[in-house]
Every structure is written in C-alpha cells, then in structure tokens.
Structure 1
C-alpha cells in the first residue's frame, strides 16, 4: 500500500443513480443566529446552582457544554442584557454567533475549483476548510478507488430519511479478518470537527504495522440526515431527523439523540437522558428505535461475533477529553479502568507534545469526568459489543469557539490527534499493562465489575 493521507472525512451516502435527499423541507427557513451570544460561565463547581439561577432569570437558554468548572450557554438577543446582570462570572465566546457561522459557512460552501487536486495531489489541503455534502461523497469514492485491494465500502443500514450509513473497511498485509478497530463519528450533527479528524498518513513503517495488525472500520458520518440539516437549515442541530412517537407533524420536536438511544444503560439514570421528545437529549421511546442505532447495533454484534472488536472510538466535540465507560453512573468503573487511565495519560501527553499550542486533553470515566449519559455508545459497545477498549474522544476546543471551530484549526486538530492515536494503537497489544488491572483505583473509589 503506497503512502496516502486517509481522511475518515464526513462519510456520505454513495447513492447510485439516486439524487441526494434534501436537508431542508419545502417552506422551511434557514435558522438565523444573528445577534445570539455564547458565554462561558465559571461555575466554581456550582453547576446546579448556576442552572437554577439561569432558569429563574431567563425565559430560555441553550446549554452547549459543561464540565466540573464551566457551563457554556447560548443566549438569544433579547435575553443577553438580562443574562449579563445576573452577577455570574463569565466571558464571551461568540459576540455574534451568526457572524461566526457565516465565516465558517463561507469555507464550507467555497467554490469547488481545485477540489479534485486537493483530494489527489495535495491531500493535506483537504483539512484547511470545511466541505459541503457532495464533496464528502466524492472524497470517499476517490479514497476507495485509490486502494481497491485494501479496502471495501461497508454499510450499517440507512438513516430515518433513507440515506445509506456507509463506512470504509481497511486492511493491510494478509487480507481482512483481524481484530477490529471501529471509528464512529458525527453522531451529533452540529459537531463538524468530529468528521474530518481521523486523518493519518500511512506511509511510515509504524502505520503500516497498524494496518497489518488490525482491520479498520471507519464510519465518520453516522447521522447524515442531521448533518445535512446543519448545512442547509440549522447549524446547531444535534439530533437525527426522526419525528416523535405518534406525531409526524411536530417539527419543533423532531429527532432522537442517537447517543442516548443505545440499549445498554438506556434508562439507567434519569439524569442521563430525557423522555421529552423536545429535549436535546431525548432518548427515544425504546432502545435503538432510531434506525441509525438499530443498524449500527446489528453491525457491532456482527463484528463482535466474527473477528471481535479491539478498539472502539466515538468521536465528538467539544471539550478536549478522553473518556471511557461508564457514562450512566458517576462511581461505576470498568475492570479495565487502570490500563485505560494509564493509556489515556500517555495519549494526552503525546497530543500535548505534538501540538505547537500544547493542547491538553483530560481523561477519565465519562460519568465521573463529564456528566451522566445514559444509553451512550461507548458503554454499549463495551458491554454488548465486548470491545476490549472503548472511548469517547471530545475534540477541540475548551471553550474559545465551541462547536463553531474556525477552519484553520482543523489541520492542527487532526495532526495532534493522530499523534495520540499512534500511541493508543501501539498500546493495544496490552503487554505494557501487565500487573495493571482491577486492583487500580480511581479518585479513591474501588473498581466495580460492570453489570
């Protein structure tokens, strides 16, 4: 296999003889965020109290991100003055979100002249801008065509609106059939940076050995309906585009959060998801009742029963975090916690050392380090798919730009993450971790056995 730059870029449907389905329905207007502001609030560990203060003082707000010390929120123009006199410790992330989105969108919808040369002759240039939906389709066609003897197109089914959820299967010497490394991205439609991030150069001997040792299944675009909707209608759309149960007319409450719709832990924690169809974290009426999840669950079980899953990564943004099971409980830890923590520390160090800005990734169990997430993919693929390693990666940044990351930061994010991935892939043989296991503790808590 000759040197190449592989981008698991925003997978899109390979529709043969069928036009791509529209993202915006007839009569829908593009959602404008002109005048909206995004604030980062320093919660000082009092996130619940800050939420109560916001709820009491504002008619509405949208949370973007939270961690132990911060809460990022989107505020409408008619509420910004009210917000700013609440007495909270904050800074402004986006002074006018509409302006930030316009700058990003001008990159995504740029003239296609020269795109073919970017893909084939100057592959690194692909990471200098966001791309429109059709460009992503063509990129994957070109990638498969370039390596027909070491790749195949695969599918995990179709989305609610009928788009093929396809990926690419890669292998090295000796052909396919080795333990699987499974990459899964753009679950939440607005997290654009999660799609182009899995790029790597396979020309060096180390990367050749990775390809020879494992089969790689890359599904970087598992919510195609939602993603296309972010490009045509609402840049901040999160969920899929499936109507609420028994209500096909309520467009305001469309969608399931397909990272709350997995079977394992689906209803394990009432704080980890929502039963309200209008919520951003609506879990659905039943596990895997989102077709995107049902298809991918079947794919996971098929690989589990075949060559097995060595590593699973669910790519998201933002927050710069390396997270592992479990998400639905703050004090439930997998027996592999010790080696996962050690590995994440080494990955974080490699990312920091490779970055000119010394980018820092924190790490730990998802429920303890982030917040409760019932029915999440890493919990399910670990517990049901029996993945030996299961991670969520929250990509750049930590509250300067949030979801609307400037295109000039795409390539640095890809390069530093590949530095971390090389460390992680090298650790998968696990001989480094002899003696590190269930006896390890995390933040003073004993490791529990998963249910």
Structure 2
C-alpha cells in the first residue's frame, strides 16, 4: 500500500457515503479549491443534521503532511464498518467497545473532512514534497507571481499579526513569496479556509474541533496566541489596548484569557488522547497549549474557540490540534502505525464527549 492520492480520497469518501448511507451523509463543501476541485466531508451518526451535537475532525490543511487525510478516511471507514456490524474496534491495547461505539453514533455527529487542501496535496505529491500551502496565485507589486497561502494562518483570529503581535513574536509572514507562512491578503481570503468556517457555521451543534497535523508528536489545545491566564478577562485577543504585546513567552505584559473550566477540560481531553495513543505502541505525545510550540496567528483551532467570544450568539467550540507521528512522509509501514494512533485517540475522544454535556 501507499499514501492515497487526492482522487483516491474523493473516491473513498463517495464510496463510504454510498455504502453506509444509514449511518453517513456526504457533505459537499460550498467552495471549490483555488484550482476548482470539490472538497468533500462525511457526517457520521445515527442522526445527522446541523443542530446535532457535533465533533469536527479536519485533516490535510498543510499539504506536505500526508498522514492525516489517509488517517481520517480510514478512521471513518473503520467506524462505519464496526457500527453496521455491531462490533467494537481496537488498535493495539486501545479499544472502543461496541457499546461505546453505539453511544458515539447515538448521541453525536462526527463531521470528518479528510483533505481540506486538495490542490496543495496534489502539488506536494507530484511536484514538491515540502509544499505546505494552498495554490493561490499571489501577484507581487513588481508583477511577478508567487503561489500559496498558509491556510492555518488565514483564519480570522488575530490575523493582522503586524498589528496584534509584538514584533517578530509570531510564526507568520505577510510576504506573498514566503514558502511556508504567508497569511494571505486578508482574513479568510482562501476558499479552503472559508470551507472550514462554513462547517462551523452550518453545524451549529459543534462543540469540539480537532485539526490533525504532523509531526511533533504532540496534542495541543487553545490558545496559540500567547500563554494562558484566567484572572484578567479584559486581556484577550479582541482588546486593541493590547495590540503589539502578544506572542512573547515568559513575559507578564500580556497573556491570553481563558475560562478556567475550559482550560481544565481541554487539558483533560488532550491527556486522554495522549494516553490512548500510548496504548497503541507506547509512543509518547506531549500535551500542552498550542503556544508552547510557538505563537500563531490565524490558526484554525484558535479560530474555532474564538468564535463564541467574538460573537456571543455562537456556540462555544473547544479547539485542539494533533501533531501526529515523527515525520511528514514516513515510510508507509510507519505511516500506518501513526494512523492507528490517530484513530485510537479520535475514537476515545468521541466516546468520552458522547457522555459529557458540552462545556
């Protein structure tokens, strides 16, 4: 076996929706990619719909990270096959019983977007394995052309990093020719970004968002903007009084506010996933807030969590990023082991929150 092409991912998604129609719906995202490719997701559950309590799993935001799209497609296939057969699932010593799987399907909807950035994946697999961004066409002031926006710096949360962060404090770039970190011409400018925003807008019952990346290995949770604090609510990403202060580790000038209960729950769920990963083959994943890796602006997990503060009419969504495995494109035998770790962690996450009221 080998890594799936984007065409194979699309075929797999469509086949699952057809084969397991009693437990699964095909979701066609409203925006085609920059190069006009359809972007498809799956909604799994005994009951599906916009208002059902939902966990959103997203992969393939960064093109060179080949494992997450395959992992999410195989994860969906395993869940659907086991649900129809009435069995449980196991990955090493990590197990989900038939009863737990029934509760997941009976009380939750899992929305799975395996490959959010199809053009980038194709370019990475066929031209440049190190390609990270989408394939947007960026025209420079001198008339030259560069390509690509980093989707995970394009979301509308502290996106304008020159204004919102301290100088040189954040992993982002406004250079349209930066190979890895260009944030785009404006927040949510990219159709691939807009599709993820649409998922969160459309599935109003969403309480949890997990963005699957590689490779650290680690499980991160909000925030990536700065270190956390729960004592000063006014010290937050919406407050322009703190512009130019964010992103410096170890200082006392600025830290990002988080509700204590949210911080506790995110850390608990992150540890839960890390423990389940350890059961598969003993691998150890770091658990921490995203900022511990580096400061980020415009990231999807922070956007998901920021929505209820920017607009009190929106539901609270706890945000997580899994950085799976130890390499972007390991030999496929190793990739399969990492996919098992991802599946075990995501299944345990769903089993846990299926029996817990949203925060």
Q: Same-fold call, TM > 0.5?
A: yes
Contact 2:60/2:68 (8 A) holds in 1: yes
Residue 159 of structure 1 contacts residue 291 of structure 1 at CA under 8 Å; is this kept in 2? yes
Match of 1:381 among 300, 304, 319: 304
* SS class of match (1:169): strand
| Aligned pair partner of 1:359 in 275, 278, 283 | 283
Distance 1:242 1:175 in 2: 33
Question: In structure 2, what is the Cα distance between the partners aligned to 1:155 and 1:247?
Answer: 36
2:23 corresponds in structure 1 to 150
Q: Deviations over 1:114-164 (max 9, x none)?
A: xxxxxxxxxxxxxx4212333222222221111123222212221111111
**TM-score, normalized by length of structure 1?**
0.61
Change (3 A) 1:255 1:390: same
Q: Which residue of 1 aligns with 2:202?
A: 302
Say yes or no: does 1:319 pair with 2:242.
no
Q: Alpha-carbon deviation of 1:235?
A: 1.2
The residue aligned with 1:213 is 107
CA distances 1:162-221 after superposition (whole Å, capped 9, x unpaired) = 11111111221x454421111111001010011112314433222121111111211111
What SS does the corresponding residue of 2:287 show, helix, strand or coil?
Answer: strand
Q: Deviations over 1:356-395 (max 9, x none)?
A: xx1111111101x210110000011111164432100001
CA distance in 2, matches of 1:395, 1:318: 5
Q: Partner residue of 2:54?
A: 180
Gap regions ≥5 residues in structure 1? 1-127, 438-451
Query: C-alpha distance in 1, partners of 2:128/2:316?
Result: 35
Is the 8 Å Cα contact of residues 63 and 131 (structure 2) preserved in structure 1? yes
**Mapped pair 1:391 → 2:284:** no
Alignment of 1:404-423 (within 5 A): 404-423=329-348
Q: Deviations over 1:229-287 (max 9, x none)?
A: 11221111111111115679644x21100100000121233523111111211101110
Q: Highest CA radius of gyration, 1 or 2? A: 1
Contact kept in structure 1, 2:39 and 2:115, CA below 8 Å: yes
Structure-1 separation of matches of 2:70 and 2:12: 11
Indicate yes or no: 2:37 matched with 1:163.
Answer: yes
CA distance in 2, matches of 1:258, 1:216: 22
SS in 1 for 2:42: strand
Partners of 1:164 and 1:248 lie apart in 2 by 33
Deviation string for 1:59-106 (max 9, x for gaps)?
xxxxxxxxxxxxxxxxxxxxxxxxxxxxxxxxxxxxxxxxxxxxxxxx
Q: What secondary structure, in the 3-state scheme, does the structure 1 residue paired with 2:195 have?
A: helix
CA distance in 2, matches of 1:254, 1:330: 32
Question: Does 1:241 find its partner at 2:115?
Answer: no
Residue 171 to residue 372, structure 1, CA distance change in 2 (3 Å): same
- Aligned to 2:104, the other structure's residue is in SS state helix
Q: 1:152 to 1:289 in 2, by over 3 A?
A: same
Q: 1:133 to 1:285 in 2, by over 3 A?
A: closer
Structure 1 contact 324–364 (Cα < 8 Å) conserved: yes
Contact 1:187 1:259 in 2 (8 A): yes
Structure 1 match to 2:176: 277
Distance 1:422 1:153 in 2: 20
CA distance in 1, matches of 2:142, 2:126: 21
- Looking at structure 1, the residues matched to 67 and 328 of structure 2 have their Cα atoms a distance apart, in angstroms, of 8
| 1:43-442 superposed matches below 5 A | 128-156=1-29, 157-172=31-46, 174-176=47-49, 177-198=51-72, 199=75, 200-201=78-79, 202=82, 203-204=87-88, 205=98, 206-245=100-139, 250-251=144-145, 253-267=146-160, 268-269=164-165, 271-279=170-178, 280-304=180-204, 308-331=205-228, 332=256, 334-335=258-259, 336-355=262-281, 358-367=282-291, 369-384=292-307, 386-397=315-326, 402-428=327-353
Sort the Cα spacing of 1:285 and 1:432 in 2 relative to 1 into closer, same or farther, 3 A.
closer
* Structure 2 counterpart of 1:48: none
Uncovered stretches (5+) of structure 2, i.e. residues with no partner: 89-97, 229-255, 308-313
8 Å Cα contact 2:41/2:113 also seen in 1? yes
SS at match of 2:26: strand
Distance 2:58 2:354 in 1: 22
Name the CA shift for 1:178/1:255 in 2 (closer, same or farther; >3 Å).
same
Secondary structure of 1:153's aligned partner: strand
Measured in 1, the distance between the counterparts of 2:265 and 2:196 equals: 27
